[in-house]
A and B are shown apart, each in its own frame.
Chain A
Amino acid sequence: MADARAADQPTIVIEPQRTAARVVIPIGADPELVTVSMLLSLARERGVEVGSKGEEVLRRLSERFRAERAPLNEVFAEATPPRHGIDSSIEWQPGFDPSHAGEAAGPSDPSSGRIDFYARTSFIRVHREDHVATILPATEGLDGRDVCGRTLAASAGKPLTIEVDASLARLDDGRVIAQLDGQLSFDGRRIVVNPVLDVQGTVDFSTGNIAFEGDVVIRHDIRDRFRVRATKSVTVEGLVDASHIECGGDLTARRGVAGRAEGTIEVGGSAHIGYLDEVSGHIGKDLLCAREIMRCHLFVGGNLVSDLGAIIGGCVTVAGDVRVADLGSGGDTPTELRLTKEPDIDSPEGKAAAEVRALHAQVATMEKELATLRSSATARTPTAAERMTELEFEIADMQARLKALGFTDPAVEEAGLAGLCTSTLTVSRMVHARVTLRLGHHLIVFNDPVKGPIRIWLEGTRDAMYQLGEGTPRSLRDMPGVMDRAAA
């Protein structure tokens, strides 16, 4: 009897871990006795913490039981789970996530749908003052409570040990700001901006063209038609195919450049190259070439040194000295070498040259107009007379200025400026036939080969001289097999 009565009594069941509390009301329970107070009392006896919500649930359950007289097994209280803290993390700004570098192909042409795979980027480029990321701090977490009122402890978020290199600044608000231009990298622990772009492989469709503000090192090759541009130096450890290199500093390509008539180099500094084949371009300072310079069209602002190499074919212009083993080839390849101090446009000489040329051009134009007016039927009209007087005056004025500059004759002026050449050509082995040498205003054609060592230079502004070995310097006009056409 007592057991039967106990079986008819409402009970409180607490879920494992005290995550919830249930009320179980059997069908045999006396509805008059199943009141809110009774259920509350039961719950409290079991140690359940019942708040207003739980009380409300018990009220509804008791009313439902009294109305329906059906057994009930319902949750009336639930634990509040703990809210654990969030670990510290890095939030990358758009475009700066290093893990996404190289994912996108290049831009596409909306009209044709073509994608420019040369133009993809495989590295993250940053500029000084760029906001690259924000380091979000770890949060503390909020404790929970089980149904019996016990604390469910929350764990705090873990701090992130991130090193921010000196190339970046980490502000108090967590922002990470680049302090210099370069390539962004993150190895999971350290964020770095590297002023040197290190391309581990070959510059090809996997990397796209390279444009970098800083130095670039390419561990392998540069493939056809790709562009590498750097504000500073470029170093290529492999071979350079028919590509385009532009750098503000030095270019080093010790394995050589095989331009195949399409490759170009634009170097602000000096170039250290294994060999050059069918390449065109400019080198601001010196060119040091280990082997041949073949069929190239180059301008070298400094010296050209290829002690074991040769200049074969093409046309090379050098502002400084030239030192090579061979000029031309045994196959009599037409080769042109120009030694001329082309004045820098911003130098005093360059400005004077530009002014002289402009004045001559203006004088020529005005003289032509004057001649036309003189021969014209309207020569005696006041307007024509006025214009002719004006032209006479302007021409006289310009000629006075040319006289002051020392150049009254265009031919003399060209020769004089061209004769600024102070370069020396030294060929240790052979100057071959069909070599043309422009030395200042001298045009020297080698009809026959000349065995070296030979040194050629301009004496003052007029005489082209040569010296064979340690012999007596002589005028180049006296060299057999060589034709010197001065001021050609």
Chain B
Amino acid sequence: MLVDDSKTIRRIQRSILEQIGYTEIDEACDGQDALSRVVAFQPSLILLDWNMPNMDGLTFLKTFRQRDKATPVIMVTTEAEKTRVIEAIRAGVNNYVVKPFTPDTLQQRIKETLAKVGAPQ
């Protein structure tokens, strides 16, 4: 599942995911939208932006982790400060990608994350 308020970023992420074999991809434009979709879609991976309207990524993550601690989440954000990264990790994020990112970087992070959690790649 791709959670980002930017259509452009979602398009790029979708393309990258398709290149590594993902075929079923859902999208949400903010944290609220993502919460409403995540139960029905049951993603095997979430790419999550931080700064979004309605509900930001950190709030979504904290809410999501209350019921699901297993699904891997990668934060994809411009927030690069160390304190922010630590905050995200504490909230339950599995990996972190700072924007702007290259396709190779994102692909690598996804593979690392899936390998760590033991999920099929």
Instruction: Check if A396 is an interface residue, CB within 8 A of chain B.
Output: yes
The reply to whether A393 and B15 contact each other, CB–CB distance below 8 Å, is: yes
Of the 9-residue stretches B4-12, B20-28, B29-37, which lies at the interface with chain A?
A: B4-12
The reply to whether A386 and B102 contact each other, CB–CB distance below 8 Å, is: no
Instruction: Check if A151 is an interface residue, CB within 8 A of chain B.
Output: no
Instruction: Check if B78 is an interface residue, CB within 8 A of chain A.
Output: yes
The reply to whether A386 and B99 contact each other, CB–CB distance below 8 Å, is: yes
| CB 8 Å contact bits of B78-121 with A (1 = contact, 0 = none) | 10100000000000000000011111100000000000000000
Instruction: Check if A380 is an interface residue, CB within 8 A of chain B.
Output: yes
Instruction: Please classify how large the interface on chain A is, using the bins under 10, 10 to 19, 20 to 34, 35 or more.
Output: 10 to 19
**Bound CA–CA A381/B15 (angstroms):** 23
Given A380-B78, A393-B12, decide whether A388 and B100 contact each other with a Cβ distance below 8 A: yes
Instruction: Check if A361 is an interface residue, CB within 8 A of chain B.
Output: no
Contacts of B102 in A (CB 8 A): 392-393, 396
The reply to whether B51 and A382 contact each other, CB–CB distance below 8 Å, is: yes
Partner of B9, one of A381, A386, A396: A386
**Bound CA–CA A390/B103 (angstroms):** 10
**Bound CA–CA A387/B78 (angstroms):** 12
Contacts of B101 in A (CB 8 A): 389, 392
Contacts of A397 in B (CB 8 A): 15
| CB 8 Å contact bits of B44-71 with A (1 = contact, 0 = none) | 0000000100000000000000000000
**Bound CA–CA A397/B102 (angstroms):** 11
A391 to chain B, nearest CB (A): 8
Secondary structure call for the A interface: helix
Contacts of A381 in B (CB 8 A): 78
B76 to chain A, nearest CB (A): 9
| CB 8 Å contact bits of A371-392 with B (1 = contact, 0 = none) | 0000000001110111111111
Partner of B78, one of A385, A392, A393, A396: A385
**Bound CA–CA A148/B9 (angstroms):** 112
Nearest CB in chain A to that of B6: its residue: A386
The reply to whether B100 and A392 contact each other, CB–CB distance below 8 Å, is: yes
**Bound CA–CA A269/B75 (angstroms):** 65
Given A380-B78, A380-B80, decide whether A390 and B8 contact each other with a Cβ distance below 8 A: yes
Partner of A382, one of B16, B78, B103: B78
**Bound CA–CA A272/B99 (angstroms):** 66
B103 to chain A, nearest CB (A): 5
Nearest CB in chain A to that of B76: its residue: A389
A253 to chain B, nearest CB (A): 59
B95 to chain A, nearest CB (A): 17
Contacts of B100 in A (CB 8 A): 384-389, 391-392
Residue in A385, A387, A393 whose Cβ sees the most chain B Cβ within 10 Å: A393
**Bound CA–CA A214/B104 (angstroms):** 61
Chain A, range 376-426, C-beta contacts under 8 Å to B? 380-382, 384-393, 396-397
Residue in A380, A384, A386, A387 whose Cβ sees the most chain B Cβ within 10 Å: A386
B1 to chain A, nearest CB (A): 19
Contacts of A386 in B (CB 8 A): 6, 8-9, 99-100
Residue in A381, A389, A390, A393 whose Cβ sees the most chain B Cβ within 10 Å: A389
Nearest CB in chain B to that of A381: its residue: B78
Given A385-B99, A389-B9, A389-B12, decide whether A396 and B80 contact each other with a Cβ distance below 8 A: no
Nearest CB in chain B to that of A396: its residue: B103
A395 to chain B, nearest CB (A): 9
Chain A, range 437-473, C-beta contacts under 8 Å to B? none
Partner of A393, one of B6, B51, B103: B103
Contacts of B16 in A (CB 8 A): 393
Residue in B8, B100, B101, B104 whose Cβ sees the most chain A Cβ within 10 Å: B100
**Bound CA–CA A390/B12 (angstroms):** 7
**Bound CA–CA A397/B103 (angstroms):** 9
B26 to chain A, nearest CB (A): 20
A402 to chain B, nearest CB (A): 15
Contacts of A388 in B (CB 8 A): 99-100
Interface CB pairs A-B, < 8 A, 19: A381-B78, A382-B6, A382-B51, A382-B78, A382-B99, A386-B8, A386-B9, A386-B99, A387-B100, A389-B12, A389-B99, A389-B101, A391-B100, A392-B100, A392-B102, A392-B103, A393-B16, A393-B103, A396-B104
**Chain A interface residues (CB < 8 Å from chain B):** 380-382, 384-393, 396-397
User: 12 other contacts beyond A381-B78, A389-B101, with CB at 8 A cut-off?
Assistant: A380-B78, A380-B80, A382-B99, A385-B99, A388-B99, A389-B99, A390-B8, A392-B100, A392-B101, A393-B12, A393-B16, A393-B103
